[in-house]
Amino acid sequence: MPESFTEDDAVLGRVIYQYNRFVNPGLARLLAFAGYGVEQRAEGCYLYDHTGRKFLDCLGGYGMFGLGHRHPRLIAAAKQALDEQPMPSKVFFSAHVGALAEKLAEITPGDLQFSFFCNSGTEAVEGAVKAARAASGRHGIISTHGGYHGKSFGSLSLTGREKFQKPFEPLLSGVKFVQFGDAAAVEKAVDGSIGAVIVEPIQGESGIHVPPEGYLREIRKICDERGIVFILDEVQTGFARTGDMFAMNHEQVVPDIATFAKGLSGGIVPIGAFMGTPKVWDALFGENPVVHTSTFGGGPLACRVALAAIEVIEEERLCENSSARGEQMLKGLQQVKNRFPELLSAVRGRGLMIGAEFAIDDAAELCIAQMVKRDVVAAYTLNNPRVIRFEPPLTINHAQVDEAVNVFGEAVAETAELVAAVNA
Ligand X SMILES: Cc1ncc(COP(=O)(O)O)c(C=O)c1O
Among residues 94, 143, 206, 236, which is the contact residue for ligand X, using CB under 6 A? 236
| Cα distance between residue 319 and residue 323, in whole Å | 6
Q: Binding to ligand X by residue 164, rule CB under 6 A? A: no
Contact residue for ligand X among 204, 266, 326, 393 (CB under 6 A): 204
Q: How distant, in Å, are the alpha carbons of 57, 104, 128, 169, 178 from that of 260?
A: 22, 11, 10, 26, 23
149 binds ligand X (CB under 6 A): yes
Stretch of 200-208, 219-227, 294-302, 358-366 lying at the interface with ligand X (CB under 6 A): 200-208
Q: Where are the beta strands (DSSP E) in 287-343?
A: none
Binding of residue 122 to ligand X (CB under 6 A): yes
Stretch that binds ligand X, among 30-38, 41-49, 119-127, 407-415 (CB under 6 A): 119-127
Q: CB-based contacts of 146: which residues, under 8 Å, 6+ apart?
A: 160, 161, 180, 203, 205, 206, 207, 209, 383, 384
Q: Is 126 in the site for ligand X (CB under 6 A)?
A: no
Encoded amino acid at 380, one letter = Y
3-class DSSP state of 168: helix
Give per-residue burial for 97-126: e unless 16+ CB within 10 Å, then b: beebbebbeeebeeebbbbbbbbbbbbbbb
CB of 150 to ligand X, least distance (A): 4
| 144 belongs to the binding site for ligand X (CB under 6 A) | no
Residue 350, beta-bridge partner list: 353
Nearer to ligand X, 64 or 405 (CB): 64
| Beta carbon of residue 264, minimum distance to ligand X (angstroms, whole number) | 10
Site for ligand X in 78-97 (CB under 6 A): none
Nearer to ligand X, 159 or 400 (CB): 159
Of how many residues is the chain composed? Answer: 424
Task: Give dist(CA 207, CA 188) in Å, integer.
Answer: 25
If one asks whether residue 276 binds ligand X (CB under 6 A), the answer comes out as no
Minimum CB separation of residue 120 from ligand X in Å reads 4
Residue 74 belongs to what H/E stretch? helix 72-84
Q: Is 391 in the site for ligand X (CB under 6 A)?
A: no
Min. distance of Cβ 237 from ligand X in angstroms?
A: 7
Interface with ligand X: number of residues (CB under 6 A): 15
Candidates 49, 57, 218, 233: give the one binding ligand X (CB under 6 A).
233
Select from 61, 68, 150, 195 the one that contacts ligand X (CB under 6 A).
150
Residue among 34, 101, 125, 343 that touches ligand X (CB under 6 A): 125
d(CA 159, CA 206): 10
We find the least distance from the C-beta atom of residue 419 to ligand X, in angstroms, to be: 29
Torsion angles phi and psi, residue 361, rounded to 5: -65, 155
Report the alpha-carbon distance of residue 342 to residue 140 in Å, rounded: 42
Using the contact rule CB under 6 A, the part of the chain among 69-77, 128-136, 231-239, 246-254 near ligand X is: 231-239
Q: Which stretch binds ligand X (CB under 6 A): 22-30, 117-125, 282-290, 343-351?
A: 117-125
75: which residues sit within 8 A by CB, 6+ positions away?
Answer: 268
How far is it, in rounded angstroms, from Cα 57 to Cα 63?
11
In this chain, which residue has its C-beta nearest to ligand X?
121
The binder of ligand X chosen from 115, 120, 323, 381 (CB under 6 A): 120
* Shortest distance, position 148 Cβ to ligand X, whole Å: 5
> Residue 83 Cβ, how far from ligand X at the closest point, in Å?
27
Burial of 62 (0-12, 13-18, 19+ CB in 10 A): middle
Handedness of CA 117, 122, 128, 129 (dihedral sign): negative
241 binds ligand X (CB under 6 A): no
Q: Does 273 bind ligand X (CB under 6 A)?
A: no
Among 11-19, 118-126, 131-139, 291-299, which window interacts with ligand X (CB under 6 A)? Answer: 118-126
Is 326 a binding residue for ligand X by CB under 6 A? The answer is no
Asked if 143 touches ligand X (CB under 6 A), the answer is no
The C-alpha atoms of residue 18 and residue 314 are separated, in whole angstroms, by 42
Residues of the shown chain interacting with ligand X in the complex, contacts defined by CB under 6 A:
62, 120-122, 125, 148-150, 200, 204-205, 233, 235-236, 261
